[in-house]
């Protein structure tokens, strides 16, 4: 008899294993070797390490920016909502783990009854009711594993919200710095152009220039004035955007001066550091497989497959019988035909087995839907990996563009400074027209503003690359 029992148990176990209802999800996701791109620049940029492994404090070295990020992470509404979502998922997982234990309820009841004016009879029951779903075909385990997958997804979403907030805060901070720099350039230009305007007025008063020259010069001078107003308004707008991230009323955002620090651990914005900051030869990109370890969206997609996998298991397990044990223990005075006070001890136990036979196609439909959902999640995972590689490729391309432009803008500013000084001296000696000076002034201003914006765009690209590789999650 014992051998038969053992063989029967082994046969049932083999059957259940072959059905896959006890299997545990194993991640099979892989990234293609060319996820970042196949050009020579992209290949040379890969290495055995990645900037994604740097903490955000190592990546952003500006102390005021670090303080600002800390404040955003502590006060931001979206991040606090993500934390609450994690706590909800933790509560759901705790409930799923306790599902293995029996449920215990106190269900007291009493009755007053009288028939044909007979004396009122009093009956009462004070039972403790117990019920328990027995784990036979893995339904409780599947629900627990699904709840754990949901918890991990919510935790990773919190990391994703955190990374996006760090990225946004840093970009806004650097935007404030570049706007401060542009405002400084415009104020310096305002002073220089005011002097040029006064010189042109003096020449006009002495009959050495036309009134049209004064008007043209004044028009350009007033244009600088309007740009100063626009930049100041833009600064206010960015400060307000940061305050929204901080969940606080509008106020001034403290920041260091432009060029005091850069991203990716380089101190100061000198020519060498600026070039290296944008140059993918000096940025540690890492291999595509690291995307699977760092990026929140890819990890979420992986656990979404796990969730769908356990939903499919639950749909399969619904075809098997459900075993429930229940019982009660307590005190009653209505155990027999006659009502006796005080009562006696009451005990009962019931075991029930429910086997679905016909559920109007609901079980079959649920299984098919679960399998299709799992297939959909697998396809979305692949697309998420492809999108991740595309984002890395785009960020690297932006870094390279900023690097290439920077050297041209730097040279252009130097050349135009010399041209402006020389043209102004020629005009003072009557050897150059006001139009030549005006052109030199406007060209220099445009080049200076473009140079500052290009450095910001490069910083923004480096930040985008850091996030695209899965950085700022720790």
**What are the residue boundaries of the structural domains of the chain, listed by start?**
19-100+139-320+364-468, 101-134+322-354
- Cα distance between residue 148 and residue 40, in whole Å: 42
CA dist 471 and 294 (Å) reads: 7
Q: Following DSSP, what letter does each residue of 309-356 receive, concatenated? A: HHHHHHHHHTTS-EEEEEEEEEEES-SSSS--SS-EEEEEEEEEEE--
Where is pLDDT greater, at 162 or 54?
162
pLDDT at position 38: 55
Tell me how far apart the alpha carbons of residues 317 and 133 are, in angstroms, rounded to a whole number. Answer: 14
Q: Is the pLDDT of residue 307 over 80?
A: yes
CATH topology assigned to domain 101-134+322-354:
Outer membrane efflux proteins (OEP) (2.20.200)
Q: Tell me the residue length of the chain.
A: 474
Residue 387 or residue 38, greater confidence: 387
DSSP state of 166: H
Percentage of the chain lying above the pLDDT 70 cut = 80
CB-CB contact of 74 with 161 (8 Å): no
Does the pTM exceed 0.95? no
What is the radius of gyration, based on Cα positions, of the chain?
A: 37
* 212 pLDDT higher than 50: yes
Q: What is the mean pLDDT of residues 113-123?
A: 75
Structure tokens belonging to residue 6:
């053992």
Question: For the chain, what is the mean pLDDT?
Answer: 81
Q: Which tens digit of pLDDT belongs to each residue from 327-382?
A: 887 777 776 555 556 667 777 777 777 778 777 788 889 899 999 999 999 999 98
pLDDT at position 325 is 80
- Identify the pLDDT of residue 9: 47
Q: What is the pLDDT of residue 59?
A: 87
Instruction: Return the minimum-mean-pLDDT range out of 86-95, 260-269, 406-415.
Output: 260-269
d(CA 39, CA 220): 46
Query: Tens of pLDDT along 249-284?
Result: 999 999 988 777 666 555 445 555 565 666 666 667
For 37-72, write each residue's pLDDT tens digit.
654 444 444 455 678 888 899 888 889 999 999 999
- pLDDT value for 341: 63
Please tell me the predicted confidence (pLDDT) of residue 423: 80
Per-residue pLDDT, 241: 94
Determine the CATH number of domain 19-100+139-320+364-468. 1.20.1600.10
- pLDDT value at residue 278: 65
Number of H helices, E strands in the chain: 12, 5
In order of 27, 307, 319, the CA distances from 365 in angstroms are 26, 18, 12
Helices 362-428 & 296-317 angle (0-180, nearest 10): 170
Q: Are 221 and 214 in contact (CB under 8 A)?
A: no
């Amino acid at each position: 008899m014992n051998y038969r029992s053992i063989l029967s148990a082994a046969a049932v176990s083999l059957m259940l294993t072959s059905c896959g209802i006890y299997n545990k999800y194993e991640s099979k996701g892989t990234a293609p070797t060319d996820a970042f791109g196949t050009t020579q620049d992209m290949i040379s940029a890969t290495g055995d390490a990645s900037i994604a492994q740097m903490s955000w404090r190592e990546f952003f070295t500006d102390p005021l920016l670090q303080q600002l990020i800390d404040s955003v992470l502590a006060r931001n509404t979206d991040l606090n909502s993500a934390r609450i979502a994690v706590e909800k998922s933790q509560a759901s997982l705790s409930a799923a783990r306790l599902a293995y234990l029996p449920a215990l309820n106190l269900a007291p009841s009493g009755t007053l009854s009288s028939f044909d004016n007979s004396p009122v009879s009093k009956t009462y029951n004070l039972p403790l009711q117990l019920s328990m779903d027995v784990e036979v075909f893995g339904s409780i385990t599947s629900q627990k594993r699904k709840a754990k997958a949901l918890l991990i997804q919510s935790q990773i979403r919190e990391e994703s919200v955190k990374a996006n907030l760090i990225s946004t805060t840093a970009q806004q901070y650097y935007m404030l710095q570049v706007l401060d720099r542009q405002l400084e350039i415009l104020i310096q230009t305002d002073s220089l152009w005011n002097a040029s305007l006064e010189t042109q007025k003096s020449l006009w008063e002495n009959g050495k220039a036309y009134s049209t020259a004064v008007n043209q010069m004044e028009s350009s001078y007033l244009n600088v004035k309007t740009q100063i107003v626009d930049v100041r308004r833009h600064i206010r707008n960015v400060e307000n955007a940061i305050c929204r991230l901080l969940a606080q009323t509008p106020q001034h955002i403290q920041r260091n001066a432009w060029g005091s620090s850069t991203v990716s651990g380089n101190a100061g914005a000198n020519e060498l550091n600026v070039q290296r900051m944008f140059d993918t030869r000096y940025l540690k990109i890492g291999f595509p497989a690291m995307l699977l370890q760092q990026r929140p969206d890819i990890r979420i997609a992986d656990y979404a497959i796990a969730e769908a996998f356990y939903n499919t298991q639950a749909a399969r397990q619904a075809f098997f019988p459900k075993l429930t044990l229940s019982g009660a223990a307590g005190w009653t005075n209505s155990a027999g035909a006659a009502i006796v006070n005080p009562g006696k001890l009451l005990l009962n136990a019931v075991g029930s087995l429910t086997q679905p036979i016909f559920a109007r196609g609901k079980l079959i439909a649920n299984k098919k839907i679960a399998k299709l959902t799992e297939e959909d999640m697998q396809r979305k995972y692949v697309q998420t990996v492809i999108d991740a590689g595309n984002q890395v490729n785009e960020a690297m391309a932006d870094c390279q563009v900023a690097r290439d432009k920077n050297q041209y803008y730097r040279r252009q500013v130097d050349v135009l400074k010399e041209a402006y000084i020389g043209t102004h001296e020629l005009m003072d000696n009557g050897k150059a027209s006001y139009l030549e000076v005006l052109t030199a002034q406007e060209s220099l201003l445009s080049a200076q503003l473009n140079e500052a914006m290009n450095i910001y765009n490069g910083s923004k690209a480096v930040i985008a690359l850091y996030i695209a590789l899965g950085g700022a999650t720790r």
